[in-house]
Structure 1
Amino acid sequence: MSDDNEEKSPWEFVVSPVKITRFLGWVVFALILAHILVQAYHFHINELPWLLREIFDPDEEPSFATWFSTLILFVSSVLLFLIASNKEKWNYKKHWYGLGAGFAFMSLDEVAGMHETFNTFTDFAWTIPAAVGVVVLIAVYFKFLVALPQPMKSQFIIAGLIFLSGAL
């Protein structure tokens, strides 16, 4: 942060978590509403082409919902890398970089559908190795999580639980 007398950098800006959350909530609401309206029109008024139904279906990979999810994961990755690069004297800088890399990988997986491809090569579900990975991540990131200030610690835990419940 700069003093009032200092000139602010053009790269310095304030982010409102409440406004971002509200905006993202409205986007999710719009995606769900569009899906419901397309399905209602298709089944009750006039049959629509599969492509039109597919791009509004959140359960399909080539859809607006997948694009939105990929974008959110990628932006999260960029922000995590920025946080890591700004943590000069913090002991957990590598953890922030690790989170950035993890979110970049999840963004790539979301758009490339790597977990679907993995399922075609194996007889077991991808959730088994993913569950092992989650246990390893918890072990590696436990001290990092404990060191986070409140309310960030609680927010990380809640976000992680919501994300994992959605992945199942």
Structure 2
Amino acid sequence: MKSSHNVKQSPTSSSERASVEIRLSPERIVRFLGWVVVGLAAAHFLGQFSKHVLGYGSLKGMIPLFDLDLEFNIPSLYSGLSLIGCAMLLGAIALLKKQKRDRYLRHWQGLSLIFLLMGVDEIIELHERTIKPLRNALNATGIFYFTWVILGFVLVVLLAIAYRKFTLSLPPKTRNRFILAASLFLLGTLGIELIGGYYAYIYGKENLIYSLWVALEEGLEMAGILVFIYALLTYLRSLSDSITIHFERSLSAPTNN
């Protein structure tokens, strides 16, 4: 007698690819960050008002935590991360430009590096540590009391020369947004810094008026970065149909024996 049986073979393993797509809206991102900036400015003002007018001191550390003139706190962390975010967006654009062998690839890469360094500096305030040595060396007073602005002006001039042709090559809308962003940022970080330095030299830093100058300076800087983020996101959108992030992982099917 013969007996037989059939064995059904199943694949020992299989692999599938799954992806999660996240869509980024430049308008929504900038709107959200705008409210963050408003909140930080309001927290700074209320804290300084409580400190200098109501006399509440530090309110258990809450006032220094939101002081726009201090380092290693929430505003400095936000400003640093927003600059690093710009560096990442510039890096993404540089990758697209590399694929197209764009003549201004190194300019995009250079901007990415510059904003990365600016972000790190904003968090740990490296430029602030140049003030006293430069002030003593140059015997600076008045509007140059915060002496690092001299280095700032020199760097801005050098960058303006190096990036003149690059800026002119940009699409009109992007170019105008870049210029607006730079104008707001420089008005705050250099222009208002000169006025704030003069005021600090004459009246000191521990008063409400100086705190308002700080709020104006930092507010203009943050506004400039917001405009720049929007300019970068919309420019990225113009280079591709959509701005998406894809996360991939392997899915292994169960093995049947």
TM-score category of the 2 structures, normalised to the smaller one: 0.7 to 0.9
Q: 1:5: which partner in 2?
A: none
The CA distance in 2 between the partners of 1:14 and 1:132, in whole Å, is 40
Q: 1:146: which partner in 2?
A: 168
Query: TM-score, structure 2 length as denominator?
Result: 0.57
Residue correspondence of structure 1 range 14-163 to structure 2 within 5 A: 14-42=23-51, 43-44=53-54, 46-49=56-59, 51-87=61-97, 88-89=99-100, 90-122=102-134, 123-124=137-138, 125-163=147-185
Structure of higher CA gyration radius: 2
Task: Decide whether the 8 Å contact of 2:58 with 2:64 is kept in 1.
Answer: no
The CA distance in 1 between the partners of 2:151 and 2:56, in whole Å, is 44
CA RMSD of aligned residues (A): 2.2
CA change 1:113–1:11 in 2 (3 A) is: farther
Structure 2 stretches lacking a partner, 5+ long: 1-17, 139-146, 191-257
- Give the partner amino acid of 1:22: R
The CA distance in 2 between the partners of 1:99 and 1:79, in whole Å, is 10
Q: Which of 141, 164, 168 is matched with 2:186 structurally?
A: 164
Which one has the bigger strand percentage? 2
Question: Secondary structure of the equivalent of 2:24?
Answer: coil
- Give the partner amino acid of 1:115: H
Residue deviations 1:16-49 (CA, integer Å, cap 9, x gap): 2221221111001111222233344554385444
Task: Decide whether the 8 Å contact of 2:107 with 2:166 is kept in 1.
Answer: yes
CA change 1:139–1:46 in 2 (3 A) is: closer
The CA distance in 2 between the partners of 1:136 and 1:121, in whole Å, is 23
The CA distance in 2 between the partners of 1:50 and 1:62, in whole Å, is 16
Alpha-carbon deviation of 1:86? Answer: 1.2
CA change 1:40–1:67 in 2 (3 A) is: same
- Give the partner amino acid of 1:20: I
The CA distance in 2 between the partners of 1:40 and 1:129, in whole Å, is 33
Instruction: Specify which structure has the bigger relative contact order, considering alpha-carbon pairs within 8 angstroms and separated by 6 or more residues.
Output: 2
The CA distance in 2 between the partners of 1:105 and 1:59, in whole Å, is 19
139-148 or 86-95: which moved more? 86-95
The CA distance in 1 between the partners of 2:39 and 2:88, in whole Å, is 25
Q: Percent identity?
A: 36
Residue deviations 1:109-159 (CA, integer Å, cap 9, x gap): 112211111112223411112211111111110111000002000000000
The CA distance in 1 between the partners of 2:49 and 2:184, in whole Å, is 29
CA change 1:85–1:10 in 2 (3 A) is: farther
CA change 1:119–1:23 in 2 (3 A) is: same
Q: 1:3: which partner in 2?
A: none
Task: Decide whether the 8 Å contact of 1:54 with 1:62 is kept in 2.
Answer: no
Q: 1:4: which partner in 2?
A: none
87-96 or 152-161: which moved more? 87-96
Task: Decide whether the 8 Å contact of 2:44 with 2:68 is kept in 1.
Answer: yes
CA change 1:13–1:96 in 2 (3 A) is: farther
